[in-house]
Structure 1
Amino acid sequence: MSTAHSSPRGGVTVGTLSELPPLEAGAVIYLRHWFSGAETREQMRLDFEVNFGPEMAEAAFEAFGSLCNFCATHGRRPLVRHGMACNCLGADENCFANLLASAAEGQQDDAQILAALIVTPRKASELTQLASDCGLLMQQVMGPRPPLQPARPDTATLH
């Protein structure tokens, strides 16, 4: 097995953006915007103003930026992202989106596990808190979520 030219595992396609609920899809799209440069960040800021309204836009933009910058600064490695127009969902993007959603929904144990995949365990609690703050803001705009599942399901089998 040769690893000389292998693709980063974090970029492996695990689904499509169209399969995600609104909060998670938004998290991936905005993650791509944040790390694609000043022009796309400005597009993101304008999108936040349209979607969040002027009162919440700045807080949401700052919260999302803090979350992304924390991942970049304290990440185990850079998060692998697909292109801006790509409908694929990469493994790292999926982890980030699920971190944001689980933290926003108050599923702290799941959020901690996902955070520890992105940053070292020592930084996971801090990342979880940032994800919770950001996710709660974004959740207000994305609309109501389905009821939470019980914390301890009878079985971990979905189908």
Structure 2
Amino acid sequence: MSAPFKRGGAAVGRLADLDPIEAGAVMYLRMWSEGEGGRADAASDFQLTLGADCGRAAMLTLDRLCSLCAAHGRRPLIRHGLGCACLGADENCFAQMIAAASEGAREDAMMLASLIVRPDFAPALASLSEELGLTLRRMTAGFKMPTTGHQTPSAVLH
């Protein structure tokens, strides 16, 4: 294992333990990172849940947010696989940033954003996090968002 994987990829929990906003943030980060197929699936989710116009706007927000992380990150975000039940350290930071921003905790979102991207890009990332977080809040109102296709026993991390 390389040093960046240890630093950002270490399992710190399970997706099933996250609230729907946090789990959604991680799953859409993973989908976006899978490439065109994953991005098409994310866009489809947004459009089915929010309608065509709002769905396109949500996908644009996700694309801008993830592109900002990729282009101006302090280092590459380490992610677990799309079907993995684990939650990595970087994924947790990302999820907490989105959740904080969706709750109006802008200072917390800025602090977390500064851990992910260079400080001069943290305000933009926090703003995009708020947009995505509010979208996920609308999408998940009244139902729990799926996290993975399988369950693991609570005592098992991997």
Which protein, 1 or 2, shows the higher relative CO under an 8 Å CA cutoff with sep ≥ 6? Answer: 2
TM-score (structure 1 length as normaliser) = 0.83
Q: Which amino acid aligns with 1:83?
A: G
Over the aligned positions, Cα root-mean-square deviation in angstroms equals: 1.5
Matched ranges for 1:101-112 at <5 A: 101-112=99-110
Distance 1:115 1:67 in 2: 11
Q: Report the secondary structure of 2:51's partner residue.
A: helix
Matched ranges for 1:142-153 at <5 A: 142-143=140-141
Superposed CA deviations along residues 93-151 of structure 1, whole A, max 9, x for unmatched, are: 0101111110111101111110010012222111111111221122111117xxxxxxx
TM-score (structure 2 length as normaliser) = 0.84
Instruction: Work out whether 1:64 is the aligned partner of 2:62.
Output: yes
Q: Which has the larger radius of gyration?
A: 1
- Give structure 1 stretches of 5+ with no counterpart: 145-159
Could you tell me which residue of structure 2 aligns to residue 38 of structure 1? 36
Q: Percent identity?
A: 46
Q: Which amino acid aligns with 2:45?
A: D
The count of residues paired between Structure 1 and Structure 2 equals 141
Could you tell me which residue of structure 1 aligns to residue 154 of structure 2? none
- Give structure 2 stretches of 5+ with no counterpart: 143-158
Superposed CA deviations along residues 40-66 of structure 1, whole A, max 9, x for unmatched, are: 111111111222222311111111111
Q: Which amino acid aligns with 1:43?
A: D
Residue 9 of structure 1 and its aligned partner are, at CA, apart by 1.2
Could you tell me which residue of structure 1 aligns to residue 24 of structure 2? 26
Q: Report the secondary structure of 2:104's partner residue.
A: coil
